[in-house]
Structure 1
Amino acid sequence: MTPALYGLFLLGLLSGTLITMSSTHWLLAWIGLELNTLAMLPLISRYYHPRATEATLKYFLVQTTASTIILFTATLNAWYTGQWTISHPAPTLTTIALTASIMFKLGIAPLHLWYPEVLQGAPMTAALIIATWQKLAPLSLAYMTLHLVSTNFLVIVGVTTIAIGAMTGLIHTQTRKVMAYSSIGHMGWLLIALLLSPKIATLTVMVYITTTTAAFLVLTNTRSNTITTMGTSWPQGPTCLLMMALNLLSLAGLPPLLGFAPKLLIIEDLTHNGLAPLATTMILLGLPALYYYVRLAYFTLLTMPPMTHPMRVMKINRFPPSSPLMTTAALLLATMPLPLIAILYEIV
C-alpha cells in the first residue's frame, strides 16, 4: 500500500468519525459509520496473510450488520414518530435494537466475541485504530441515546462487561488478545461513567485512548506478539520495555499513574450516590485484570531470554530510529501527573 493511499484511508477514518460525532440526523450518522468501516477494511488487510483476511471479513460482517440495524431502527423510528433526530424518544422495539447495535460496534458484552478475534488477526497498527479511534463514533451515539435506555439494564451490562474483560484476559498469552479484553473491561467502566457524569465519561475516554495508544506503540515498536516475546525484547530495548510496564500498570489503574484518576472518580461518585455495593463489586471484578496486567509487566521487566553473551546481545538494536521518540511518548502518556488530570477534569 502506497503512502498516499494509506493517508487517504486515514482521512476517510477521520471524516467518518467527525461526521457521526457532529450529526444529529440518523442518516448522516449512518453515513459516517459506513465511511469508517469502508476506510478501515484496507488497513486490516494491508498485509496478505490468512489471519488478516479472516479478521477483515469478520470486521466487515460485524460492522455492516450493526450499521444495517441502526439504519433499520432509524427508519422504523421515523415511520412511527416522523422524526430523524438521534436524541428523539423512540418506541421500545427500536430502542432495544439500537442499543444492541451500538453494543455490537463497541464490543460490549455479551456482543463482544468478534472483538478479540479481529484484533488478533489485524496488524498492530490496525488493532490500535480499532481499539481507540473506532470507538469514538459509536460512543457519541451511545451518549446521545443514553436517556432512552433503562439505567438498571446499563448497569448490569457494564458490570458484566467488566467481569468478562477481567476473567477472560487471564487465559490468553497473545498480547493483542490481552489488549482486546483489556479494552472490553474498560468499556464496562466507561458505560458506568456515562451514567454518572459526562465529565467523568469524557475523562475516562481520554485516559483510555491515551494509555492504550502508548501500550500499542511499544508493542508495535518491539514486535511483541506474545508474552514470551515481550521478555526476549528486554535486552534490545530496556528503556522502551520499562515504559511498557508503566503503561500496563497505568491500564490497571494503579496510582500515581494516569489510569488511576478516572477509576477513582467513578468509585467516588458511585459512593456519594449511595451505590457503594456497586462500587465494591467493580473493584473486586477489577482484581483479575490487575493480575494479568502485573503478569505482563513481570514478563516485560523481570524475565530474560536464555543467552550466553549478554553484553553482545545488549549491543544489538533492531528498533527503528523512532524508538527514543516512542519511549518518550510512552513515558509521558503513562505518567501524566494527577494535578494535570484534575485541571483537565475541570475543563471538560
Structure 2
Amino acid sequence: MFFTLNSNKMFFLFILFFSTLISISSNSWFGCWIGLEINLLSFIPLISNPQNLLASEASLKYFLTQSIASINFLFYILLNLFFMKNFEMNNMISILINSSLLMKMGSAPFHFWFPNIVEGLSWFNNFILMTWQKITPFILLSYFFNKNFIIIIIIMNAIIGAIGVMNQSSLRKLMAFSSINNLSWMLSAIMISENLWLFYFLFYSLLISIMCFLFYMMNMFFLNQLFFMNLNYLIKLSLLINFLSLGGLPPFIGFFPKWIIINFLINNNYYLMIFILIMMSLIMLFFYIRISYSSIMFNYLKLKWIKINIKNKLFYFMNFISLLSISGMIISTFFFM
C-alpha cells in the first residue's frame, strides 16, 4: 500500500486535515496560529521513523524551521494589533507576516530547509508536504499580502526552482525544486483571486500525486534507477507524459492552468513576470525531457535478465490518468467553447 494505516497514523492524519480547517475557518489571526501549531505537531509523528535516521533528522529540522516561522508569525500579528493605525508600519508588518507564511510553505528565499527535509521523507509524506501543507499558508497569505513584495518572491521562486533542478541526481530533490518553481505560479494566481489559486492547486496536486505514486510503485529515489531498471516501456512512457505535464508542455493537461494564469496576468499587465515565469518553465522542461529521453533510450544489455513485472491493479489507473493528461488540451478547449 502507498501508506501503512495503523490507528496512530490515522489519528494524526485526521488531526492534520482538521488543523487546516481550523486555520482557514478561523475569524482571528490567533485562531489561525493555533491551527498552524496543531498542524505542525500532527505532521511530525507522521514523518518521524525510529528505524530511519534520515526521517528522524528530517522531522527535527521540520520542527525547528516551522516553530521559528510560527514564533515570527505570532510576534508579527501582535505587532499588527499595536500598530494597526500606522500605515507605514502596517506596510512593514504585512511584509513580515508574509515572510513567516512563505517560510512555512518552503518558498524562496526561505526555501533552504525544504530540499533537505524532502530528502529524508517517504513518497507519501513528500506528497503531503508538497500539497496539503501548503493550503493553510496560502489561504492566510491571501488575507493580508504586500503586492510588491509578493512579485519579487514570485520571480525568486521561478528562478531558484529552475536553477535548483540542474545537476540533481535525487528524484526527491528534483520534485522539491519543481514544487518551488510551481509556487511562483501559485503565488501569481493568489494575487489575482483565491478561486484561480484553488484551480491551479488542484491540477498541481493531481500531477504531484501521480509522480509520487509512480516513484513509490517502482521504489525509485535516484535518477540512475530510471536508467538501470529494465522497465516496461509503458511505465517509461507514463513517466515521460507526467513529467512533461508537470512542466506545462502545451498538449498536456498541466499546461491548462498555466495558460489561464498567463491570460489573467496579461489582463493585469504583468508582462515582465509572465516572461520570467515562461522562461523558467522552459528550463524546467528541458531537464524533464533530458531525464525522460535518457531513461527511454538507455537500455543496459547486461541487465536484461532483471525483469520487473509490476503486478498492481492501480497501474492501469495510472495509464488512464496518463491518457487523460495527453488529451488535456482537447478537454481544456471544451472549457472555452
Residue 228 (str. 1) matches residue 259 (str. 2): no
Query: Which amino acid letter does the alignment assign opposite residue 212 of structure 1?
Result: I
> Match for residue 31 of structure 1?
34
Distance (whole Å) between structure 1 residues aligned to residue 172 and residue 154 of structure 2: 22
Distance (whole Å) between structure 2 residues aligned to residue 240 and residue 24 of structure 1: 47
> Match for residue 199 of structure 2?
203
> Match for residue 7 of structure 1?
10
User: 1:140-159, CA deviations, whole angstroms, 9 ceiling, x for partnerless residues?
Assistant: 1111123xx1x222112101
Distance (whole Å) between structure 1 residues aligned to residue 255 and residue 61 of structure 2: 34
8 Å CA contact 2:252–2:326 kept in 1: the answer is yes
Using a 3 Å threshold, how does the CA distance of structure 1 residues 253 and 46 change in structure 2: closer, same or farther?
same
The alignment's TM-score, normalised by the length of structure 1, stands at: 0.87
SS at match of 2:302: coil
Deviation of 1:287 after TM superposition, in Å, equals 1.9
8 Å CA contact 2:246–2:254 kept in 1: the answer is yes
Distance (whole Å) between structure 1 residues aligned to residue 327 and residue 40 of structure 2: 32
Distance (whole Å) between structure 2 residues aligned to residue 332 and residue 6 of structure 1: 33
> Match for residue 95 of structure 1?
94
Query: Which amino acid letter does the alignment assign opposite residue 116 of structure 1?
Result: P
Distance (whole Å) between structure 2 residues aligned to residue 221 and residue 159 of structure 1: 34
8 Å CA contact 1:239–1:327 kept in 2: the answer is no
8 Å CA contact 1:210–1:333 kept in 2: the answer is no
> Match for residue 289 of structure 1?
284
> Match for residue 240 of structure 1?
235
SS at match of 2:216: helix
8 Å CA contact 1:43–1:126 kept in 2: the answer is yes
Deviation of 1:58 after TM superposition, in Å, equals 0.8
1:1-348 to 2 correspondences below 5 Å: 3-46=6-49, 48-81=51-84, 91-146=90-145, 149=146, 151-233=147-229, 235-307=230-302, 310=304, 312-314=305-307, 316-317=308-309, 319=310, 321-324=312-315, 327-328=318-319, 330-331=321-322, 334-335=325-326, 337-338=328-329, 340-341=331-332
Deviation of 1:93 after TM superposition, in Å, equals 4.0
Deviation of 1:180 after TM superposition, in Å, equals 0.2
Distance (whole Å) between structure 2 residues aligned to residue 67 and residue 264 of structure 1: 35
8 Å CA contact 1:119–1:177 kept in 2: the answer is yes
8 Å CA contact 1:228–1:299 kept in 2: the answer is no
Using a 3 Å threshold, how does the CA distance of structure 1 residues 333 and 33 change in structure 2: closer, same or farther?
farther
Query: Which amino acid letter does the alignment assign opposite residue 155 of structure 2?
Result: V
Q: How many percent identity over aligned positions?
A: 29
> Match for residue 85 of structure 1?
none
Query: Which amino acid letter does the alignment assign opposite residue 76 of structure 1?
Result: L
8 Å CA contact 2:256–2:329 kept in 1: the answer is yes
8 Å CA contact 1:51–1:122 kept in 2: the answer is yes
User: 1:161-219, CA deviations, whole angstroms, 9 ceiling, x for partnerless residues?
Assistant: 10000011112110000000000000011111222333332221111111111111101
8 Å CA contact 1:218–1:326 kept in 2: the answer is no
Deviation of 1:273 after TM superposition, in Å, equals 3.1
Gaps of 5+ in 2: none
Deviation of 1:72 after TM superposition, in Å, equals 1.6
8 Å CA contact 2:155–2:184 kept in 1: the answer is yes
User: 1:104-155, CA deviations, whole angstroms, 9 ceiling, x for partnerless residues?
Assistant: 0111111101100000111221111101111111111111123xx1x22211
8 Å CA contact 2:49–2:56 kept in 1: the answer is no
Q: Tell which deviates more after alignment, 67-76 or 57-66.
A: 67-76
Distance (whole Å) between structure 2 residues aligned to residue 327 and residue 275 of structure 1: 37
Using a 3 Å threshold, how does the CA distance of structure 1 residues 330 and 215 change in structure 2: closer, same or farther?
farther
Query: Which amino acid letter does the alignment assign opposite residue 242 of structure 2?
Result: N
Distance (whole Å) between structure 1 residues aligned to residue 253 and residue 211 of structure 2: 13
Query: Which amino acid letter does the alignment assign opposite residue 132 of structure 1?
Result: T
Using a 3 Å threshold, how does the CA distance of structure 1 residues 342 and 4 change in structure 2: closer, same or farther?
farther
Aligned length: 332
Using a 3 Å threshold, how does the CA distance of structure 1 residues 23 and 177 change in structure 2: closer, same or farther?
same
The alignment's TM-score, normalised by the length of structure 2, stands at: 0.89
**CA RMSD, 1 decimal:** 2.5
Deviation of 1:90 after TM superposition, in Å, equals 7.8
Query: Which amino acid letter does the alignment assign opposite residue 196 of structure 2?
Result: I
Distance (whole Å) between structure 2 residues aligned to residue 282 and residue 2 of structure 1: 39
Distance (whole Å) between structure 2 residues aligned to residue 206 and residue 196 of structure 1: 17
Q: Tell which deviates more after alignment, 194-203 or 322-331.
A: 322-331
Deviation of 1:338 after TM superposition, in Å, equals 3.9
Using a 3 Å threshold, how does the CA distance of structure 1 residues 167 and 257 change in structure 2: closer, same or farther?
same
